[in-house]
Amino acid sequence: MAKPLRIVALGSSFAAGPGITPIEDTIATRSARNYAHIVAERLQAKLDDRSASGATLCHVLDERQKFFTTSLSPQLHTLDADVVFLTAGGNDIGYSLGMIRDSVLPFLGTLNYQVDLDARLAAVVKRVKELAPKAKMYLVEYLTVFGSDRTDVLNAERVRHYQKQAEHLARTYKKVADRYENVEVIKMSSLSFDHGVGSQTPWVTGFSWSMFWHGIVPYHPNREGHEAVAEAILAAMNKSG
């Protein structure tokens, strides 16, 4: 019998799926129904999901991710994979955390970290290629949070700021992927553009104070969003053979 496909999932909360039950890892706030799990289940693949809420590209590459009383090893400490998924970079520039802070504490001003996102992402992809040179790598873009529909959760200036950050993330994914063989972008930013906050069929959560009581994370992919990402990945994998 052929060995099952080996999938390794890397990334931040947009990969991990916080707030989507069941939660398989409370430290990483990682769901057992995120897109990587759905894909692995459909393909009957072996999954090693290392994604963690709050992770930056540095935490993926070589930095421990520290919490109050514990920490997580760098996600790329080893790599044995046929396929690698990555969704990360938003925390490096203050993307979803900035949205939450703008909604909770708007008087603090914009959260906007200035980092070389291109260099950070390229370093991660380069390391994946060194550790698993034959693996197919998918850079899975962030789902659109603020797309074609109007929303009143933040003012127009703040919404445009985060749209620009999303565009920056998408451009960086494409630029880095173009430099390497066997690296493909899953273009979720465009596929989800009509499914942002305020749409009829949102793939992301919006914001309300009650979310915090129910364990829902604002401005993050919901269950339908992860299912949509999984379908896009499966279509890409089927196309590439």
Residue 1 lies in a domain: no
Q: Which residue in 87, 39, 54, 97 sits closest to 231, CA to CA?
A: 39
Q: What is the pLDDT of residue 32?
A: 98
Task: Give residue 22's pLDDT band: very low, low, confident or very high (50, 70, 90).
Answer: very high
- Global confidence as pTM: 0.94
Q: What is the pLDDT of residue 184?
A: 98
Which CATH number belongs to the domain containing residue 212 in this structure? 3.40.50.1110
Residue 66 lies in a domain: yes
The average pLDDT across 2-9 equals: 92
Look at residue 66 and tell me whether its pLDDT is greater than 80.
Answer: yes
* Measured distance CA(241)–CA(237) in Å, rounded: 6
Instruction: Judge whether 88 and 57 are in contact, CB under 8 Å.
Output: yes
The tally of domains found in the chain comes to 1
Per-residue model confidence as pLDDT tens digits over 167-221? 999 999 999 999 999 999 999 999 999 999 999 999 999 999 999 898 899 999 9
* Measured distance CA(148)–CA(197) in Å, rounded: 9
Quote the domain boundaries for residue 216: 6-240
